[in-house]
């Protein structure tokens, strides 16, 4: 069964450093998403992406965040200058259509020191 | 604003007992509803979903949920739980905003189901 994959599974970085989280969505899906889950809190929407542009973004998704689909398979989330409060599990998801079921990857656990 | 409420943060239950995990949503527009499960140290897995049609939806591992529009609820139930059902369960709602934009999932805070022998 096709699945969303994410790399790395864990990332530790120093505050102020840039990180890139990578995702490979399910191959025939056209809609992509990033969510995050701070430890002990709910899963929060960050951004959605379709047709090579951002469809929607939440208040969390400020100027330090960016997303890109650099090729036909990868979907990346870049955090330019990480802060301690960026420590969280970051989930990528994809869906075949915009209002249909989203399938999640296993997540990248980011720890900012 | 759209919101999803899971009133129970933790639900302890004995093996083979029935369980109900509650979920309520608020929305003034059409909504799709989902339950995701997160096993320890793993990602989110889709458990079941309601998009349209029959209000009772079932998963392959014995869970079911019923969409109740009048009560704006989508409670998750299982008549007899197993130790392996121990996990965190997230209710989520998807609203496609006016204008047909992509929309996104709104999650509840999650309910930790702990099944004891």
* Interface check B104 vs A, CB under 8 A: yes
The residue of A51, A55, A98 whose CB has the most chain B CBs within 10 angstroms, and thus the best one to mutate to test that interface, is A98
What is the tens place of the pLDDT at every residue in A49-97? 998 999 999 999 999 999 999 887 899 999 999 999 999 999 999 998 7
Residue B97 has pLDDT above 60, yes or no: no
* Interface check B36 vs A, CB under 8 A: yes
Task: Report the gap between the CA of B52 and the closest CA in chain A (Å).
Answer: 11
Range of weakest confidence among A4-8, A9-13, B50-54: B50-54
Q: For residue A2, name the pLDDT band (cuts at 50, 70, 90).
A: confident
The residue of A31, A35, A39, A42 whose CB has the most chain B CBs within 10 angstroms, and thus the best one to mutate to test that interface, is A42
What is the tens place of the pLDDT at every residue in B60-71? 889 999 999 899
* Interface check A104 vs B, CB under 8 A: yes
Which range in A8-22, A40-54, A68-82, B25-39 is most confidently predicted, on average pLDDT? A8-22
Contact criterion met (CB < 8 Å) for B94 and A45: no
Residue A20 has pLDDT above 70, yes or no: yes
Residue that has been written with the tokens 């840039």 in this structure: A18
What three-state secondary structure class fits A85? helix
- In terms of pLDDT, which residue wins out, A28 or A108? A108
Residue A109: closest CA among chain B residues belongs to which residue? B41
Q: For residue A109, name the pLDDT band (cuts at 50, 70, 90).
A: very high
Q: How much is the pLDDT for A15? A: 97
Half-sphere exposure for A3 (CA within 13 Å, toward CB): 12
Residue B35 has pLDDT above 60, yes or no: yes
Query: b/e map of A76-93 (b: 16 or more CB within 10 Å)?
Result: bbebeebeeebbbbbbbb
* Interface check B45 vs A, CB under 8 A: yes
Assigned token pair, B9: 């943060």
User: Do residues B81 and B18 lie in contact, with contact meaning Cβ atoms separated by under 8 Å?
Assistant: yes
């Amino acid at each position: 069964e096709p699945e969303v994959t994410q790399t790395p599974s864990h990332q530790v970085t120093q505050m102020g450093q840039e990180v890139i989280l990578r995702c490979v969505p399910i191959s025939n899906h056209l809609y992509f998403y990033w969510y995050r889950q701070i430890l002990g809190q709910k899963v929060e929407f960050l951004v959605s992406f379709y047709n090579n542009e951002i469809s929607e973004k939440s208040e969390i998704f400020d100027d330090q965040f960016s997303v890109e689909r650099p090729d036909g398979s990868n979907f990346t989330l870049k955090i330019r200058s990480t802060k301690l409060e960026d420590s969280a599990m970051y989930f990528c998801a994809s869906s075949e259509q915009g209002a249909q079921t989203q399938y999640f990857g296993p997540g990248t656990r980011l720890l900012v020191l | 604003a759209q919101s999803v409420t899971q009133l129970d943060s933790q639900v302890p239950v004995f093996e083979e007992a029935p369980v109900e995990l509650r979920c309520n949503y608020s929305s003034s527009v059409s909504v799709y509803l989902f339950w995701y499960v997160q096993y320890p140290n793993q990602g989110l897995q889709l458990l079941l979903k309601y998009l349209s049609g029959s209000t009772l939806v079932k998963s392959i591992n014995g869970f079911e949920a019923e969409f109740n529009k009048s009560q704006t609820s989508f409670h998750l139930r299982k008549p007899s739980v197993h130790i392996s059902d121990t996990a965190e369960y997230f209710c989520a709602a998807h609203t496609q905003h006016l204008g047909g934009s992509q929309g996104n999932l709104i999650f509840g805070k999650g309910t930790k189901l702990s099944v004891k022998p």
